[in-house]
Structure 1
């Protein structure tokens, strides 16, 4: 009887271990599909007022990809241009409403679309998204916009790209919506029952990079964020250099953090920055769209 019970217990434990290892393997090999939960069809801009102001531009990456992005020129010669780095899901069509308040305020916006998203070629990865953002900088430089005339705006996943770019370029400012310390830290929160921290390939280690940026920083985070806990954003903020500003948005989570209050605070932050470099009176010609197939 005892031997029979032992055999059942051992068989159950063996089965549980096999299932556990299978879950670990599935998550490891599918992690990029989970992290880069994207739309692959060309994005839609369902806003007639913005369609007239949008220019579809072609960005050339260092590894040979040609990416379509959406460009909205600054309405004022003294206004900075925002490099908008969206979150992990959907495409720029889903995320552009989060940049609408900046466009309406007269700021320029280059809404970057990543590789593998929104009909663009390639497959997303941490290194790939960094190359995509660098292509965005190259485009803005071709438009005679100095690095200190650029503001980085990263949301969620895009905050990791923004922090890395702020460590490389002397930008005018950086705005982070719901940021994290690193992707392993986020994975450890979501999959606490797995060795997730050691399985993550695309690490987006913002915590180790943010102090290298000397640009004025504004972070806002939802108090009830269940996807990226607010303490991760606070830890990142603590590691950042001055000058920096923090806003806790009470009563909201991850997806509804960009309230009118938060947008007003972002605009106040931008208005309080030192004057940016003068814009060129004659913008450079846009790259030919033929390179992007259209």
Structure 2
């Protein structure tokens, strides 16, 4: 083999190795599923929560319904928050926060495929599929219809969950929500982590810019974004950019000194107040 051919082979190996790695192991770099521990069951029972079981293309899935503390006279909660936790978290990690928010509302805590008690592998399409199926399963659990539930829906999500929340809002005709530490697009996140041009190898194309644009165009749309000023994972500029694109619809709150994973720990009461403002239709 000539020297030139050897050089070309070495260059090809250097170029193709990271490409093959990113294409084959991409899901492991994006998603970090965890199983539930025994103590979650105790907390779920204390909150009078119920498992909502359903099946998707990924197999058996489980979400968790947290009812209002006092049964509403109509039989259905005035508002049902669809809640999506961050990447390394589980749906029931938010259970303790629901008791500090409006207890007249209900909460559906939704895990992603492969997280918690859910089977399968996550992708944007499969997460959308799970969200829609979870709402349908909850309607059956409450002995009502999806048409009855839809006007009561609002979304809440953190980080990856903000993308899941916006996709659910897009699919279910929801126009109210609170987003914590959202990114603009997953490709832009890839640019931060991997640089150009490897960021364009992204196969999990979450795009909050486009999705929020569609949702924000609906009549009566109201959203609030919280973002930590010292977020070490998703730059605060991304949350700001999303809000600045829709100033008549979105209120932006930068939390001074806030990091990526501590917003709910330090600012849960403020998040709860924002949820009420969104429901009341308060102007940004």
Range of TM-score over shorter length = 0.7 to 0.9
Looking at structure 1, the residues matched to 65 and 39 of structure 2 have their Cα atoms a distance apart, in angstroms, of: 12
- TM-score w.r.t. structure 2 length? 0.80
Does the 8 Å contact 2:224/2:250 carry over to 1?
yes
* Partner in structure 1 of residue 155 of structure 2: 152
Looking at structure 1, the residues matched to 273 and 94 of structure 2 have their Cα atoms a distance apart, in angstroms, of: 22
Unaligned runs of 5+ in 2: none
Equivalent in 188, 208, 211 of residue 210 of structure 2: 208
* Partner in structure 1 of residue 126 of structure 2: 128
Looking at structure 2, the residues matched to 247 and 73 of structure 1 have their Cα atoms a distance apart, in angstroms, of: 29
Looking at structure 1, the residues matched to 158 and 121 of structure 2 have their Cα atoms a distance apart, in angstroms, of: 20
Does the 8 Å contact 1:210/1:239 carry over to 2?
no
* Partner in structure 1 of residue 90 of structure 2: 91
Q: CA deviation at 1:108?
A: 1.1
Looking at structure 2, the residues matched to 94 and 159 of structure 1 have their Cα atoms a distance apart, in angstroms, of: 15
Q: Answer 1 or 2: which has greater helix percent.
A: 2
* Partner in structure 2 of residue 60 of structure 1: 55
Unaligned runs of 5+ in 1: 1-6, 277-294
Matched, 1:71 2:74: no
3-state secondary structure, aligned to 1:146: helix
Q: CA deviation at 1:126?
A: 1.1
Larger radius of gyration: 1
Change (3 A) 1:54 1:35: same
- TM-score w.r.t. structure 1 length? 0.78
* Partner in structure 2 of residue 279 of structure 1: none
Q: CA deviation at 1:71?
A: 1.2
Aligned residue pairs total 262
Change (3 A) 1:259 1:169: same
Equivalent in 253, 261, 270 of residue 265 of structure 1: 270
Instruction: Write the mapping of 1:1-294 to structure 2, written as runs, cut at 5 A.
Output: 18-39=13-34, 41-46=35-40, 48=42, 50-52=44-46, 53-61=48-56, 63=57, 65-76=59-70, 77=72, 79-97=78-96, 99=98, 101-102=100-101, 105-142=103-140, 143=142, 144=144, 145-171=148-174, 173-192=176-195, 194-213=196-215, 214=218, 215-240=221-246, 242-260=248-266, 262-274=267-279
